[in-house]
Structure 1
């Protein structure tokens, strides 16, 4: 069995883990969170939150305010009443959906996932643990795609984080701005998953890039011009050794 370079092992481990974390961040609606206190005027206030047209009503006479928790992702937004099971999620819409920075983040994340998937497939083909010699060029090309994917996802996360409190703010709609201003928005869990996944992609892809550099093979003592590789075993000193010994000094 051939000795797989440590850089390839590191790349094969970290690249899929980074892809899984970025994918988790992409599909979850916790890129940013905010909370707003809703005053309940009058004793006959009726709150309706439901899915598919099914309303859930509750009258309150003693409670003066409700704390609403709002979360937004790239493709989904949610609203929940604190300390309650009342929750509703819906596809992003309105000024937030039309915001060019949100659209840019969506495109970059989708491209990152695609490149990372292709890069991991190439890396797996290039490592080829079932043969004597790995396809170093193929593995390194996969690493290059994974690094590119990590940079794209980092760019998307950076753009979103930098403009987090301004996303979806339409200056032409004063009422919407007034309502949005009541939310104390901050970064949420999905962003942290994305940051961690992106760094793991960069780490795994960079490790695979070392596959471009072919290590030096030891030379045969009796033939200095002859290198010792599994594909060339003409050195008299190693002809009597086992295959395992040959592979341990192989390149």
Structure 2
């Protein structure tokens, strides 16, 4: 049996969202800070959830593991770290559950297990969107050495990854509706069968025609006695000539 399209869509979008969320979590570019006072004008500070890197627009030099205790002490950073890790772990578990439900190696998929996997994928997407949206909303209010703050590419990847997971989870959740409808249909059919066997409807009796010894149940019409309301055609006499010589002549075989 071919795998349903909703399961193929979910199993494609969920890993894509996982990769994007993983990149967003690990990469140190949730926001970029430009025009920092007291340093060179080409220096750009990239801040993420786990690391801070210093880059230069005039060269490709990158200096990571920058210390900023005030930045990492913000409440949003701790919450975002926990939610992004929870989203990644839950997404991995959800993909495994959904794969067991799809069961491409069998004839029919397990709609219930695949639907549960879709719900877990949907939750993992929501867990990824919450910290990304929250961080974007309060990005300018987080402690920063400069007021020239721009959105980093990690926020964009986090948004896209979370949306892909939400869409994939919603699509796969349709399997639960299919499972519930099949179960309801099966229970209804079973109930109808039990009801028909327990309370059979009485058979309808059809009166049989009475047969007497002297008369038949089928009426018989005598052509001589039956009066018809239309004139009958008269039978024409046979006018064909009769060969009398042929009929009266004797042959040897007759002797």
Which of the five TM-score ranges fits, normalised by the shorter chain? Answer: 0.5 to 0.7
Match in the other structure for 2:141: 166
Give distance in 1, aligned partners of 2:178 and 2:82. Answer: 36
What is the number of residues matched between the two proteins? 183
1:75–1:92 contact (8 Å) kept in structure 2: no
Given that 2:97 and 2:113 are in contact with CA atoms closer than 8 Å, whether structure 1 keeps it comes out as yes
Supply the distance in 1 between the matched residues of 2:147 and 2:6 (Cα, whole angstroms): 46
**CA–CA separation in structure 2 for the residues paired with 1:92 and 1:212:** 49
Structure of higher RCO (CA pairs closer than 8 Å, 6+ residues apart) = 1
The reply on whether 1:122 has 2:97 as its aligned counterpart is: yes
Q: Is the 8 A contact 1:38 1:67 kept in 2?
A: no
Instruction: Write out per-residue CA displacement over residues 108-147 of structure 1, whole angstroms, 9 at most, x where no aligned residue.
Output: 1000111111000000110001111211111111111111
Q: Provide the C-alpha distance between the structure 2 equivalents of 1:8 and 1:38, rounded to a whole number of angstroms.
A: 53
Residue 111 to residue 92, structure 1, CA distance change in 2 (3 Å): farther
Q: Which string of whole-angstrom CA distances, capped at 9 and with x for unpartnered residues, describes residues 167-197 of structure 1? A: 2x2xxxxxxx6xx1x3411111111011000
- Would you say 1:100 and 2:107 are equivalent positions? no
- Gaps of at least 5 residues in structure 2 are 183-188, 191-255
Contact 1:119 1:142 in 2 (8 A): yes
Q: TM-score, normalised by structure 2?
A: 0.67
Higher alpha-carbon Rg: 2
Aligned residues of 1:37 and 1:67 also touching (Cα < 8 A): no
Q: How far has the Cα of 1:93 moved from its partner? A: 3.8
Runs of 4 or more above 6 Å deviation: none
RMSD: 2.1
The residue that corresponds to 2:158 in the other structure is: 194
Question: Larger strand proportion, structure 1 or 2?
Answer: 1
More helix by share: 2
Deviations 1:68-103 (A, max 9, x none): 111111101111222123321116640111111111
Q: Which runs of 5+ in 1 are unaligned?
A: 41-64, 170-176, 218-224, 227-251
